[in-house]
């Protein structure tokens, strides 16, 4: 099926340019469509690996969520197709790669650039939440840099569409998932959670943009249990040179109590 890109496509419609990433279930290729000459990212997923881990429904969920998403700061799905052995997702190609690469290389992001990224990702998250999608894995590795310097939120592999059909509100999640240093306290406690978990991850992301490290899992030799306790209690050290307004924003995004976080409304309704 198509989603605003080349339609009725098959693998033979593309020239493979290079491998740009490897994942748990396959690889991501940079490809060029032979007819329109546009460059895309092609995610190639092995159905055998999905079956082995019983994750076929996860991949179908990722594809279904991506078809709902049309936003300038979220990586878009152009189309998807399959063969008996593989699934293919054709997505926007982001030549700047992962923001993590730039952060890792530079150590931190310049303040004016960081503000720009924070603004764009605020709009991306606001859009996802407006259509009842929780991302659940917001981190620099999943933020991609476009050819013109804008950023897009990518990798919807853990995202969930959680609209309650009866009430029109949120249905809560309970699954413990995401990246250790970004997991929200309510998720760690196995409480019901909703978009508040994304707000927490966004706070960790903003901190990392300015400090070059996670607020709770900073040092490589840090005891993971101590870092986990710090996250549960919302204790983070303010790095030297952190701008006052960035410190204020991070403080509003990282309270351990979800309802105290910036922009969070009362807890989701419906069963977990």
- The pLDDT of residue 220 is 47
pLDDT in tens, 46-98: 999 888 877 777 788 888 899 989 999 999 899 999 999 999 999 999 999 99
The CATH code of the domain at 11-92 is 3.30.200.20
Residues placed in the known binding site: 43
Name the residue among 118, 117, 125 with its Cα closest to residue 194.
125
Q: Which residue has the higher pLDDT, 266 or 220?
A: 266
1 pLDDT above the threshold of 90: no
Q: Render the burial of 106-138: b for 16+ CB within 10 Å, e for the rest.
A: eebbeeeebbebbebbbebbebbbeebbbbbbb
For residue 62, what are the CA distances in angstroms to 45, 67, 74, 265?
12, 9, 13, 26
Distance CA 99, CA 27 (A): 19
Sheet holding 77-82: strands in order across?
A: 14-23, 26-33, 39-46, 86-92, 77-82
101 pLDDT above the threshold of 80: yes
109 in helix, strand or coil? coil
pLDDT in tens, 223-243: 778 888 888 998 898 888 899
Could you tell me the two tokens for 104?
């890792």
pTM of the model: 0.88
CATH superfamily placement of domain 97-260: Transferase(Phosphotransferase) domain 1 (1.10.510.10)
Measured on CA atoms in the order 18, 21, 25, 31, is the torsion positive or negative? Answer: negative
Q: Which residues are catalytic?
A: 137
Local structure of residue 76 (DSSP, 8 states) = P
Domain positions in the chain are 11-92, 97-260
Residue 221 CB burial class (10 angstroms; 0-12, 13-18, ≥19): exposed
Residues placed in the known binding site for ATP: 43
């Amino acid at each position: 099926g198509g989603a605003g890109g080349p339609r009725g496509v098959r693998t033979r419609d593309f020239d493979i340019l290079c491998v740009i990433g490897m994942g748990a279930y396959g690889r991501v290729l940079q490809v060029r469509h032979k007819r329109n000459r546009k460059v895309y990212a092609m995610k190639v997923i092995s159905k055998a690996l999905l079956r082995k881990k019983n994750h076929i429904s996860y991949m179908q969920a990722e594809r279904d969520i991506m078809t709902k998403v049309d936003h300038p700061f979220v990586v878009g799905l152009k189309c998807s197709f399959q063969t008996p052995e593989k699934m293919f997702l054709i997505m926007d190609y982001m030549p700047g790669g992962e923001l993590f690469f730039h952060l890792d290389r530079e150590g931190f992001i310049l303040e004016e650039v960081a503000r720009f990224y924070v603004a764009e990702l605020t709009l991306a998250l606001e859009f996802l939440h407006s259509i009842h999608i929780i991302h659940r894995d917001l981190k620099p590795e999943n933020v991609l840099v476009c050819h013109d310097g804008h950023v897009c939120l990518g990798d919807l592999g853990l995202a969930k569409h959680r609209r309650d059909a009866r009430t029109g509100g949120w249905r809560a999640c309970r699954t413990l998932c995401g990246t250790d240093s970004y997991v929200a306290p309510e998720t760690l406690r196995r409480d019901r959670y909703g978009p508040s978990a994304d707000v927490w991850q966004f706070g960790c992301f903003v901190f990392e943009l300015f400090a070059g490290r996670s607020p709770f899992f900073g040092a490589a030799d840090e005891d993971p249990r101590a870092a986990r306790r710090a996250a549960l209690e919302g204790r983070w050290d303010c790095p030297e040179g952190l701008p006052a307004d960035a410190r204020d924003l991070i403080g509003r995004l990282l309270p351990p109590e979800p309802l105290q976080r910036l922009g969070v409304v009362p807890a989701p309704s419906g069963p977990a």
